[in-house]
Structure 1
Amino acid sequence: MTLVEQSTDFQFSLWQGENFRPVNQFYRTQKHKGSASGDDKVFIIQQESVIVGAVRLVPYSGYYWLRGLYIKNALQGKRLGSQLLDCVAAQISLPIYCFPYPHLDHFYSQAHYQHVDENLLPDNIATLFERYNRKGQGVLVMATNLAVS
């Protein structure tokens, strides 16, 4: 793994492992149904070599879709999620889209994500957003690193 940032007790890095097995094991402990695979970029937080936080970015042509931001329950409320998004922002300059639940609006806004008009979404993200809405997920659509027109 390439070390990106280190705080007193936590190391933030882009996952460089041979496979995503340890990351996916962490996701399962958090009851996350998805898993990292293929060309996903995964950023992690480790404490004493144990994964305690992760977020994955699914690549598309010219942008990413942020999925599965999880912090170990016992460590929530310590700004680790915000620091993980800062780590991502330091390494990714392409637009990043996400579908947060409404109660996470402030969290993502503080990380410089902004609401996006669903009529202005790239086709793939628009299709995914429509699918989430059909399932009654009640999610927002936000993004960061958007070009200013």
Structure 2
Amino acid sequence: MTDIAYAPLEAPLWPLMNKFYRTHHSSMKASKDAQLWVARQEEIIAGLCLRPMAGGYWLTGLFVAPQLRGQGVAGALLEAALSPCAGPVWLFCAPELQGFYQRLGFSADTDLPYALQERLARYQRNKAMIAMGLNPTLEC
């Protein structure tokens, strides 16, 4: 098995992230105003977006190829992407993913910036979502 490389995705290669999501029938999309991070074994096997917001980052689009789930890829990708972060990180997830994110240091007891509070309220109209947060300066 080839080693996995975890690194930011350069802007000219951003279309590859959306291709990865589409290949796996995910509705996620890469955000052009975010830092895109990927895990690669020659091809992209996982990705995430970190969008600067309110002195921190909003984590979206974390997705691991189904055949590689449960092997620590998501955790390693998050560790690589969040290591340079100097502020809090927030995310929204389905309630069944809360335990996964808690094992990575996220907490459901988080203060969201106003813009994310509004967005979460809109999302919750259509599906069950919870907010979680991580303060790397406290967790690391």
- In the superposition, the TM-score normalised over structure 2's length comes to 0.88
In the alignment, the residues of structure 2 paired with residue 61 and residue 133 of structure 1 have an alpha-carbon distance, to the nearest angstrom, of 21
Separation in structure 2 between the aligned mates of residue 102 and residue 12 of structure 1, nearest angstrom: 27
Return 5+ residue gaps in structure 2 as ranges.
Answer: none
- Secondary structure at the counterpart of residue 97 of structure 1: strand
Structure 1: tracts of 5 or more residues without a match: 1-7
User: What's the CA shift string for 1:73-97, capped at 9, x where partnerless?
Assistant: 1111111011111112212122111
Larger mean CA deviation between 66-75 and 10-19 belongs to: 10-19
How do 1:1-149 and structure 2 match up within 5 A?
A: 9-48=3-42, 50-116=43-109, 120-135=111-126, 137-145=127-135
Contact 2:49 2:59 in 1 (8 A): yes
Secondary structure (helix, strand or coil) at the match of 1:43 reads strand
- 2-structure distance, mates of 1:127, 1:147: 26
CA distance in 1 between partners of 2:45 and 2:76 (Å): 13
Task: Output the CA distance in 2 between the equivalents of 1:139 and 1:37.
Answer: 20
RMSD value, Cα = 1.8
Structure 2 distance, partners of 1:9, 1:28, is 24
**1:5 maps to what in 2?**
none
CA distance in 1: counterparts of 2:136 and 2:6, whole angstroms: 24
**Shift of residue 122 of structure 1?**
1.0
**Matched letter for residue 144 of structure 1:** L
Shift in Å, 1:147: 7.2
Task: Provide TM-score, normalisation by structure 1.
Answer: 0.83
Equivalent pairs counted in the alignment come to: 137
Q: Secondary structure at the match of 1:35?
A: coil
C-alpha distance after superposition, 1:28-57 (max 9, x if no partner) = 112222321322111100002x00100111
Which whole-Å CA distance do the structure 2 matches of 1:59 and 1:30 have between them? 26
